[in-house]
Amino acid sequence: MGSCPRAPSTATSTTCPATALAPLTATQTEGVRVGRRPKLIAPALFVALAVVLTTAAARPAAVPRASTAMPRAAPAHVSRLPWRSSVARVVPHEAVVVWKGHSSVAARRSVTARVGATTVAPKRGLGVDVVRVPPGRSTNASIRALGRSPLVRFAEPNRIADPAGTVEPDLFPDQWAIDNAGQDHPFTAYPPTFPYGVHGHGIAGADVHAVDAWTKQTGDASVVIAVLDTGVDIMHPDLASQVVPGWDFVGNDDAPTPGNGLENSHGTHVSGIVAAENASGTGISGVCPGCRVMPIRIGTQKGLTLGNELKGIDFAIANGADVINMSFTSPIWSKAERAAIAKAGRHDILVVVAAGNSSMDNDIEDYDHLGDNPAAYAPAFPATYTLPNILSVAASNDRDQYAYVSQCRGSGVPTYVCGFTSWGHDSVDVAAPGVDIISTVKQGQGPGVDPDYDVWDGTSMATPMVAGIAGLVRSQHPGWTAVQVKDAIMHGANRPSSLRLYDEWANETHVGKKLLSGRFTRTNGRVNAANALSASTSSATPRTDGNIDRARPITAKRTGTISWPADDNDVFKRRMVQGKTYRIALNGSKGKDLDLWVWRPKTKEIFQFTASCFSSPSCPSFQAASTRPGTADETVKFKAPKTGTYYIQVNGWYSGGSYTLTVTKV
């Protein structure tokens, strides 16, 4: 994603989505926080180095801005769900239908017709349709009706995701992320407010070590990296020889995305980072210059829809992709999206995804907005799915620190307000360079001396760095599985002592004004391509008790300790009986801030907020919560709506400490 403020949106790119938060009332919650504060740096901040804090200035995608703080909600007895928000965008009157494999086209059309819907741009062989419900009919009711058909596997609203990132160039010397000698290089500029310029003096070696890797492997043309994004300019001189046939699910063209049909360069920028050719002596080099890109257009600058994303994943599977790059995020947990990525895993495809640009911990629930600023949120999906074939990526900078916008340097703006990368010890795997990244854009769309290139910030830029490394590893070890490639990349990461975090609101005591130390990702490391080629393939992602799939049983009482940021959550499980009333009490260390959440049977991940949680009284996985600010003591009481195994989550709100958890039947 490009640098963004905090708040939820339906899929946001790793640039920043413009969204707003509008909590709705709901049952079974008490005093739930309604948000934190977005912080972005507006281009106007840097005019003549004048520093002005603002929350209203329009900003280019992926640029963080500074803003004033939005206080946390005071304790309240009015039940509110902070995740219900207009930032969770969907296409009006449209639904995504994933069919079961045995159903015929005629049978599918019959099911669609029975609910009065029509299929939009059908494509045979994918098992996914987008259907349009006519005005006057309830889209939600139609989705429920579709879901009852024995031919339908999933039926969901057609969610919109936003691309996650934003660029400048013989040009290789400017690619500090590939070969960093501490040289000057261009920073992310946003004309006409701020001219193209240089900054530099990063730390030598704070890069992905691609040049070292190239002495062994530059990539095999048989290795294909699918880029699901806003499309690719396949006529760009750095990409024209690098693409294999893809698909335009926006224009529905039976061909790779046309070079003259793009109004946005996000996908082109991502593709250049992955695999721009480097034999011509001009332009830039991709991390895996010998690999090939499969361009799959699933949306535009306005957003990337779930329906097109599912079609794109199916297309990548059917056409032999080895890696899928997804530089976008959403606050919405999607059963269909999760299943599609799992299916890619069964076909041995590694899916590399962006952690997000909200400067938040994806292991903690947090939604934020302020005025017209884009929204920020945590957790971010697909990054936070607990699937073995997902590799989630945070952004770092040229000094081997977690990413903040470089314009802060020398501008008078405190560095701690400029951090943008999201993180998460359990939910984010590695960091990769994502600040001041030069890459390809649609020809003629870039600023400065060479309009075919531009410099952007964002986890959208960090993600293809890792997808390119995955291409190198797959080329070196064609017999390795997707999970082995992931493990090698994680084990091969460098762990520099400088990899620390700037974040103003890392906790409520403003400790975030300092450069924070801690284990902010699983590896707490920055990727190293050369190491990854020969690193261990033993498991790098053991399951933890911080999520549903490793929940520990509780009968009556448990004690434990939370330690932020390396252990934000403890999850327990308890069988409960329909119609019986239960009281769950959390008593924690004084001076700490712990929260209590309860999830219903069949929940797969903590904070499993589906589209309905943002738009209606229905939130299928959520049962109850008590999340009062400033206290470690929380209590919930509820009557179980069904019999089954419930999950009880203790969460540290940027906090930690010991606790006692008690469950009683009343």
Residues carrying an active site annotation: 229, 266, 460
Residue 104 phi, psi (nearest 5): -85, 165
Residue 146 to residue 139: CA distance in whole angstroms: 10
Residue 289 to residue 275: CA distance in whole angstroms: 5
Side by side, the strands of the sheet bearing 390-396 are 247-248, 292-297, 224-229, 323-326, 350-354, 390-396, 430-433
Residue 93 to residue 307: CA distance in whole angstroms: 13
Six-digit token string for 148: 């009852």
Q: How many CA atoms lie within 13 A of 295 on its CB side?
A: 36
**DSSP assignment, residue 136?**
T
Six-digit token string for 229: 């994004």
**DSSP assignment, residue 51?**
-
**DSSP assignment, residue 524?**
-
Check: CB of residue 596 under 8 Å from CB of residue 633.
Answer: no
Residue matched to tokens 């206080």:
71
Residue 482 to residue 80: CA distance in whole angstroms: 41
Pairing of strands 657-665, 328-329: unpaired
Residue 196 phi, psi (nearest 5): -60, 135
Six-digit token string for 398: 């040229």
Cα torsion 130, 134, 136, 142: sign: negative
Six-digit token string for 384: 């936070």
Residue 326 phi, psi (nearest 5): -130, 95
DSSP output for 320-386:
T-SEEEE-EEBS---HHHHHHHHHHHHTT-EEEEE--SS-SBTTS-EEE--TTSPPEEES-BTTT--
Q: At what angle do helices 105-114 and 139-147 cross, to 10 degrees?
A: 140
Residue 434 to residue 418: CA distance in whole angstroms: 14
Check: CB of residue 406 under 8 Å from CB of residue 397.
Answer: yes
CA distances 385 to 533, 544, 550, 603, Å, are: 26, 14, 14, 12
User: Which of these, 605, 624, 626, lies nearest to 550 by C-alpha position?
Assistant: 605
Structural element, H or E, at residue 390: strand 390-396
Instruction: For residue 643, give the amino acid letter.
Output: T
As a whole number of Å, the end-to-end CA separation of the chain is 47
Mapping DSSP onto H, E and C, the string for 235-261 reads CCCCCCCCECCCEECCCCECCCCCCCC
**DSSP assignment, residue 269?**
H
Check: CB of residue 453 under 8 Å from CB of residue 284.
Answer: yes
Residue 484 to residue 481: CA distance in whole angstroms: 5
CA distances 62 to 7, 135, 198, 299, 400, Å, are: 14, 35, 19, 17, 20
Residue matched to tokens 């976008």:
328
- Omega within 30 of 0 (cis) for the link into 192: yes
